[in-house]
Structure 1
């Protein structure tokens, strides 16, 4: 399990009617089953095996010597998920907790890449499961809402990298999140820009602004994610922004995706073949170079 803890509150909150369960770091034995989690935002399950990064080697030795398969490994500050992945590899059950939704999104991506695990394979608590829960999170902390919803669609918060998991706050030039994919011939990395709107006042000019950012950044596709239902003007404006051709298939250039649709399982309609977004700020050539150097495959 992995998780976001008390969401900046000492007393915590418990709002199951909103799809949220958050509180302090206290754990009860009843929560520590093979697929359970403590109070906070988290994920948990038991594990298969796969190649391991250098940072996991000391943990593998420690866990092998101090625990047995089926035991529970707890990391209350799980960050980028090295402990969780090491425990998963050694067939230990695990509990991970962190203060930010960005960490949870990163660990979910690692579990998918390294072990083929989807959210249905472990228990996650403390993140929204309903539109009302998403609204509550947005009202509590707009940036945590943004980090959470970007993670749900597999996008990386703008400004986040291997050495910086905080993302970018403040002026972002209309870019909240980024995704990447390779052209069919593998010779070019294309960019997808995500714009997140948590407010209720949505308008067509917001979509035109996103289209302008796509042109400025030479991006292939834009995803307009909104918490409130989009207006007819927003949908019409998006439909008028043309398409993007990839391998003989046309993709809508600007796509509108609601939080409600994302929670129901809908994802951005973009080509497959993502590159490792941990290196998105590097030059295009170095994306492939760094991935090979680190021995890493696609994360998001």
Structure 2
């Protein structure tokens, strides 16, 4: 489900199905089951995901585990300017048809220590999308290291997702309100959008936690793997999936409030009830990296 300069493709709340669970982290049992016009994608809903179950110790085992992985470099916003499509990244400045808060360029800023601070308040929401200065690619490992905001009903937090505007190919990490972490692949098959989704850590509150998210894509060998803190937590294989990505991809990072009057969004992420007086939700991006070899983090 995307907004672009050419069209809006809406594919909301079709029945999703989960991918396989091989290679899951130890102890996790995944149960089957504005004025300017520019590409303006926003992480698509992951309807009716299947759930991944586990004990509290499972989440503790994943937390902050890098096992010797190199630190990610700071997110490079050195050439980011409003309406500069030639830079590596652009912070969106236009309406968001999926919710009550518009995307606001000034809700993304660089801290003195190199972190990128993304804030959501009553005036707007943050979205970072890779632009022409970061050519799309088909294969490799994309990673972010992020401190999550306070998770709330109706809030979608996407610390990393990949997208191709022409085909609508998409791979997501999305926190669905307080319901859990959804991993989803969206692809068109014979003109129909297919959603392959699973929910990890269902019901867990990961507010304020720092984690490293990785998406490894190998279109040559036909698989996509999702990583959390160095552990593979999900995998799709072309041979067993309803559909599979086939185009080059660019990364995005964002959070947004879902339309509280849309039953589909409410069913997916809960109902957004707004913010307390002067309340601000903050997501901090400590680092971003792309490895064309697709080398895993451990």
Instruction: Tell me which interval the TM-score lies in, with the shorter structure as reference length.
Output: under 0.3
Higher fraction of helix? 1
Tell me: higher relative CO, structure 1 or 2? Use CA pairs within 8 A at least 6 residues apart: 2
**TM-score, scaled relative to structure 2:** 0.27
Larger Cα Rg: Structure 1 or Structure 2?
1
